[in-house]
């Protein structure tokens, strides 16, 4: 088309858009006059404008390569018991399909939501199982029921929901020209549904107009209840900064979600405020048009929505009260919000009127305070952006062969350079995220070359370790680590399909064992660990020199079994691992570690004699090692065995000896910790000896000393949890110390404190879905049981 | 690597524009390579897994958008550039307006027309 003609078309098109939809074609016909070809072009353009919807609204990078997911592969596929019929929608998290139960004579239609690849499935499914019981409680006429969930054959999580025939609330109102009062009444129905969920202690977290349908009969149906929670990271770790699988929609995000703070019922109140604004004004309250973290942060945390024409003053006040940036200043419940809307409908004054002015004045001050931090964040992300852009430019030239330089420069040069820079967490997240995106894209083009595949697997392993290897500084992104390990596994399995290289199979076994250790308490972890052992056994048949692999895999399995308190099998597997380690001539240090675990298990069972015997063996090894090499590590190891013996003796009635050796352990640990304040292992050990001493002192009746010690131990572990948010291991340790606190307070007759400590411990155990044996609960020293 | 390239950016806008263009080349090259790769018979049938990882149709769509953008650039370079910034560069409308030194309202008008036109081109393709 000639440029002049294009300009003419643009002018008519833009003028037409300023008119009501009904008047546009008439205007265009007049404006085009005799030029019927131009009219046809303009009409087509107007039609396309109406149809284009979200076309190209999502940046290409978000859906490219491994993270997009075409729709077609699922059509006419089965997912669980359901047969997919067709796609009915798609969004950031994945696509929704209409499906029918395949084995059902009545073939009732359902909606199946398949989560896009890239969100870590094992983790999601584990959380889904944990949540399912709670979600089953949600039975409300305005909530679409969540029926089922699972993983597709390719490992993607899916959710099955009641299929609702309706349209999104905003377009329903638009199409039917629902008047203000009608919109407010629909909104009250939405509130009723959300309030019902809140009464069942379920938060939606991803409320938005697209998630709220209205049927032709005018019934509101909320979709996706509970899914956001399942898709989100563990909320017990409030202050983590994660870029990973946060399941919110930027335009409907709340300040606390953007800042990674805890999500509460006030989060849904905020989202309801956004929805009410949009329902009444037709515009989004938060105009987030790019997905850059800085942009989302700025809009959500700093900017108040524009006052919109057409919204009555009192309703605007209600909206603004729901949209307070600080959760505590919003309506405290959804019912309060709904009541204020009802007050408006009844012509009574609304409560939101009170403090609007002071609120806005206060906001101005805090907004300018925020500015400083935000500027810093932009600089960090921009610097990382430059690196990424430069790196991407190189990829454009070298394309996929550059996987080597990628892995090397990003992961082995840039990341280590900033790894220990304070405040570099965001940039490190970005690097991990970008490396993953790139690797995913490269892996999609399926290199047919074993050497390349090996490098890719190694890169995924490196990323996984940066995300969540407990033995080094990590990002605490355990879900992400698991996903990366799984990707490494996929590549290694492909290699295994073509080559019987035992080293590759060694890695398969180790990746399985490493994955199992990430969430040690779960059912899946046991399956993974068993698979690791099986794989190691297979490697061993081919290559006897891989006995170490088997010993390590067995150690992993035994460890997982131990965390699940499956004592008899854990003992057997630890013993096999020990036997193989001796045969493979691994360092005596590993022997000591296993004896220590065995001692712990026997101790947990109350078999004090066996526990003592294993601690004595471990002590032999560790004292021998200490003589050979008196390092901080070997000194701490000896102290573990001293402390273990102290615990045994205290319970065998040998309190005086116990106190003596525990004090020896304490001296060692305090010296080691003082020598290197940055050594986390030493700091933990120093805190733990307080716990042991508290128990001994309580048994000796030395009340004030015992209380002082146990409180110090509790405070230290609470600090560790704050420092490593998201670490299930730290939480578990805290629960363990709380258990001891229950025992100590119980012995001292401090019943309310004992009960609170025990409740706190139990809360964590249950949240982690851990099996807590009766033996462990028995040790919780119920009050009234003296001395024990 | 960071230091070598930083000097080349005149300002933030320039950086964003260059980054958007780089992203476009990377994504489209990748999509083209991928589409070509799949046409070759080396892989035989596409399994469920392969199909998802590769997002086959998405590749073709990206290539088609790139082609259409080249046509658009001949008639209306500003609109083509805006699509590059937003769709390939991931910029917001405000950021794009800043880079293109136009008002947000103008950027919004450009965007609406470009989107409608591109949508039509892809329907035909």
**Per-residue pLDDT tens for A200-217?**
767 788 888 888 989 888
The answer to whether residue A274 scores a pLDDT higher than 90 is yes
φ/ψ (deg, to 5) at A100: -125, 155
Q: What is the mean pLDDT of residues A31-39?
A: 91
Token pair of A51, please?
């149809």
The answer to whether residue A630 scores a pLDDT higher than 90 is no
Residue A566, pLDDT score: 86
A756 close contact with B: CB closer than 8 A: no
Residues of B in contact with A391 (CB under 8 A): 1
Give the chain A residue whose CA is nearest to the CA of B106: A14
3-class DSSP state of A652: coil
Residues of B in contact with A383 (CB under 8 A): 2
Q: What is the DSSP letter of A234?
A: P
Question: Average per-residue pLDDT in chain B?
Answer: 70
The answer to whether residue A446 scores a pLDDT higher than 60 is no
Contact B119 A17 (CB under 8 A): no
Exposed / middle / buried, residue A691 (Cβ in 10 Å: 0-12, 13-18, 19+): buried
Between A426 and A382, name the one with better pLDDT: A426
Q: What is the mean pLDDT of residues A391-417?
A: 46
CB–CB of A126/A519 below 8 Å?
yes
Distance, CA of A76 to CA of A117 (rounded, Å)? 19
Distance, CA of A499 to CA of A505 (rounded, Å)? 10
Shortest Cα–Cα distance, B93 to chain A (Å): 6
Chosen for mutation from B117, B118, B124, B125 (greatest number of chain A CBs closer than 10 Å) is B117
Residue B18, pLDDT score: 67
Chosen for mutation from B53, B64, B110, B124 (greatest number of chain A CBs closer than 10 Å) is B53
B94 close contact with A: CB closer than 8 A: yes
Exposed / middle / buried, residue A472 (Cβ in 10 Å: 0-12, 13-18, 19+): exposed
Residue A106, pLDDT score: 56
**Alpha-carbon distances of B76 from A15, A176, A275, B82, rounded to whole Å:** 18, 38, 37, 10
Closest CB from B12, B75, B90 relative to A3? B75
Residue B47, pLDDT score: 26
Closest CB from A52, A396, A440 relative to B22? A396
Shortest Cα–Cα distance, A490 to chain B (Å): 11
B29 close contact with A: CB closer than 8 A: yes
Residue A287, pLDDT score: 79
- pLDDT band for A599, please (50, 70, 90 cuts): very high
The answer to whether residue A621 scores a pLDDT higher than 70 is yes
The answer to whether residue A435 scores a pLDDT higher than 50 is yes
Token pair of A166, please?
């309706």
3-class DSSP state of A643: helix
What whole-number percentage of chain A has pLDDT above 90? 24
What whole-number percentage of chain A has pLDDT above 70? 73
CB–CB of A553/A533 below 8 Å?
yes
CB–CB of A24/A17 below 8 Å?
yes
Question: Average per-residue pLDDT in chain A?
Answer: 77
- pLDDT band for A529, please (50, 70, 90 cuts): very high
A156 close contact with B: CB closer than 8 A: yes
Contact A56 B89 (CB under 8 A): no
Residue A72, pLDDT score: 40
Instruction: Give the lowest-confidence range in A248-252, A399-403, A780-784, B102-106.
Output: A399-403
The answer to whether residue A116 scores a pLDDT higher than 80 is no
Closest CB from B27, B50, B95 relative to A290? B95
Q: Is the dihedral of CA A36, A39, A43, A44 positive or negative?
A: positive
3-class DSSP state of B104: helix
Give the chain A residue whose CA is nearest to the CA of B52: A69
The answer to whether residue A595 scores a pLDDT higher than 90 is yes
- pLDDT band for A459, please (50, 70, 90 cuts): confident
Token pair of A419, please?
């790894």
Residue A572, pLDDT score: 95
Contact A64 B94 (CB under 8 A): no
B104 close contact with A: CB closer than 8 A: no
Distance, CA of A307 to CA of A787 (rounded, Å)? 67
Residues of A in contact with B22 (CB under 8 A): 389, 392-393, 396
Instruction: Give the lowest-confidence range in A222-236, A413-427, A703-717.
Output: A413-427
3-class DSSP state of A108: coil
Residues of A in contact with B2 (CB under 8 A): 383, 386-387, 390, 414
Closest CB from B22, B43, B83 relative to A56? B83
Contact B56 A70 (CB under 8 A): yes
Residue-wise pLDDT for A467-479, tens only, equals 776 555 566 677 7
- pLDDT band for A666, please (50, 70, 90 cuts): very high
B105 close contact with A: CB closer than 8 A: no
**Alpha-carbon distances of B100 from A376, B12, B90, B93, B104, rounded to whole Å:** 25, 12, 15, 10, 10
pTM of structure? 0.42
Residues of A in contact with B29 (CB under 8 A): 396, 399
B35 close contact with A: CB closer than 8 A: no
- Closest by Cα among A751, A752, A710, A750 to A734: A710
Q: What is the mean pLDDT of residues A442-449?
A: 58
Residue A399, pLDDT score: 41
């Amino acid at each position: 088309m000639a440029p002049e003609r294009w300009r003419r078309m643009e002018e008519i098109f833009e003028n037409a858009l300023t008119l009501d939809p009904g008047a546009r074609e008439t205007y265009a016909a007049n404006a085009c006059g005799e030029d019927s070809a131009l009219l046809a072009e303009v009409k087509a353009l107007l039609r396309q404008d109406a149809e284009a919807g979200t076309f190209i609204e999502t940046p290409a990078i978000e859906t490219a390569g491994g993270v997009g997911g075409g729709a077609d592969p699922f059509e006419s596929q089965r997912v669980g018991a359901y047969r997919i019929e067709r796609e009915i929608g798609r969004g950031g998290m994945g696509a929704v399909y209409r499906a029918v139960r395949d084995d059902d004579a009545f073939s009732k239609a359902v909606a199946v939501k398949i989560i896009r690849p890239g969100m870590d499935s094992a983790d999601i499914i584990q959380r889904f199982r944990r949540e399912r019981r709670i979600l089953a409680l949600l039975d409300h006429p305005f909530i679409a029921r969540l029926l089922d969930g699972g993983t597709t054959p390719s490992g993607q999580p899916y959710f099955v929901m009641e299929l609702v025939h309706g349209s999104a609330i905003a377009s329903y109102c638009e199409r039917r020209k629902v008047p203000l009062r009608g919109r407010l009444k629909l909104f009250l129905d939405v509130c009723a549904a959300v309030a019902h969920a809140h009464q069942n202690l379920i938060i939606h977290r991803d409320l938005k107009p697209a998630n709220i349908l209205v049927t032709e009969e005018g019934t509101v149906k909320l979709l996706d209840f509970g899914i956001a929670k399942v898709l989100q990271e563990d909320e017990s770790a409030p202050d983590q900064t994660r870029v990973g699988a946060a399941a919110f929609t930027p335009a409907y995000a709340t300040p606390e979600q953007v800042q990674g703070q805890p999500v509460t019922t006030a989060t849904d109140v905020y989202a309801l405020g956004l929805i009410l604004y949009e329902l009444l004004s037709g515009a989004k309250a938060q105009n987030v048009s790019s997905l850059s973290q800085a942009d989302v942060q700025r809009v959500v945390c700093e900017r108040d929505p524009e006052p919109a024409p057409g919204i009555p003053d009192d309703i605007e006040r209600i909206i603004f009260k729901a949209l307070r940036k600080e959760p505590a200043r919003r309506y405290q419940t959804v019912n309060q919000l709904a009541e204020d809307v009802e007050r408006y409908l009844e012509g009574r004054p609304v409560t939101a009127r009170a403090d609007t002015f002071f609120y806005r004045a206060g906001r101005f001050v805090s907004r300018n305070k925020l500015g400083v931090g935000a500027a810093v964040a932009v600089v960090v992300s921009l610097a990382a952006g430059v690196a990424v852009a430069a790196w991407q430019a190189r990829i454009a030239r070298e394309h996929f062969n550059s996987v080597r330089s990628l892995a090397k420069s990003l992961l082995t040069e840039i990341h280590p350079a900033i790894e220990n820079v304070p405040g570099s967490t965001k940039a490190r997240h970005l690097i991990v995220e970008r490396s993953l995106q790139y690797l995913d894209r490269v892996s999609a083009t399926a290199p047919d070359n074993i050497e390349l595949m090996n490098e890719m697997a190694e890169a995924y392993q490196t990323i996984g370790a940066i995300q969540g290897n407990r033995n080094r500084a990590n990002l605490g992104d355990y879900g992400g680590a698991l996903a990366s390990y799984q990707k490494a596994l996929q590549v290694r399995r492909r290699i295994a399909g073509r080559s019987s290289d035992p080293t590759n199979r060694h890695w398969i076994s180790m990746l399985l064992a490493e994955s199992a250790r990430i969430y040690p308490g779960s059912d899946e972890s046991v399956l993974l660990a068993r698979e690791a052992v099986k794989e190691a056994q297979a490697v061993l048949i081919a290559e006897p020199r891989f006995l170490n692999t088997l010993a390590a895999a067995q150690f992993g399995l035994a460890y997982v079994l131990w965390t699940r308190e499956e004592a008899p099998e854990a003992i057997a597997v630890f013993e096999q691992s020990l036997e193989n380690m001796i045969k493979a001539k691994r360092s005596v240090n590993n022997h000591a570690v296993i004896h220590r675990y065995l001692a712990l298990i026997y101790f947990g069972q109350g078999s004090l004699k066996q526990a003592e015997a294993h601690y004595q063996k471990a002590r032999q090894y560790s004292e021998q090692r200490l003589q050979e090499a008196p390092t901080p590590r070997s000194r701490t190891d000896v102290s573990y065995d001293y402390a273990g013996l102290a615990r045994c003796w205290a319970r065998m009635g040998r309190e005086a000896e116990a106190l003596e050796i525990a004090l020896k352990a304490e001296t060692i640990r305090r010296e080691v910790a003082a020598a290197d304040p940055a050594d986390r292992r030493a700091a933990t050990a120093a805190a733990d000896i307080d716990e042991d001493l508290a128990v001994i002192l309580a048994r000796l009746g030395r009340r004030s000393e015992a209380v002082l010690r146990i409180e110090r131990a509790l405070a230290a572990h609470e600090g560790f949890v704050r420092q490593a948010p998201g670490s299930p291991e730290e939480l578990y340790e805290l629960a363990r110390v709380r258990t001891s606190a229950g025992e100590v307070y119980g012995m001292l007759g401090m019943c309310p404190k004992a009960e609170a400590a025990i409740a706190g411990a139990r809360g964590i155990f249950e949240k982690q879905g851990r099996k807590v044996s009766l033996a462990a609960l028995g040790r919780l020293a119920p009050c009234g049981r003296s001395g024990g | 690597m960071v230091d070598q390239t930083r000097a080349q950016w005149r300002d933030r806008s320039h950086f964003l524009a260059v980054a958007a263009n780089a992203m476009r080349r990377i994504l489209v090259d990748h999509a083209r390579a991928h589409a070509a790769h799949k046409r070759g018979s080396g892989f035989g049938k596409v399994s469920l897994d392969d199909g998802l990882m590769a997002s086959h149709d998405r590749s073709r769509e990206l290539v088609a958008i790139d082609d259409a953008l080249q046509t658009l650039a001949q008639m209306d370079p500003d609109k083509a550039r805006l699509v590059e910034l937003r769709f390939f560069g991931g910029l917001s409308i405000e950021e794009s307006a800043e880079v293109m030194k136009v008002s947000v309202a103008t950027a919004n008008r450009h965007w609406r027309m470009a989107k409608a036109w591109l949508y039509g081109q892809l329907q035909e393709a």
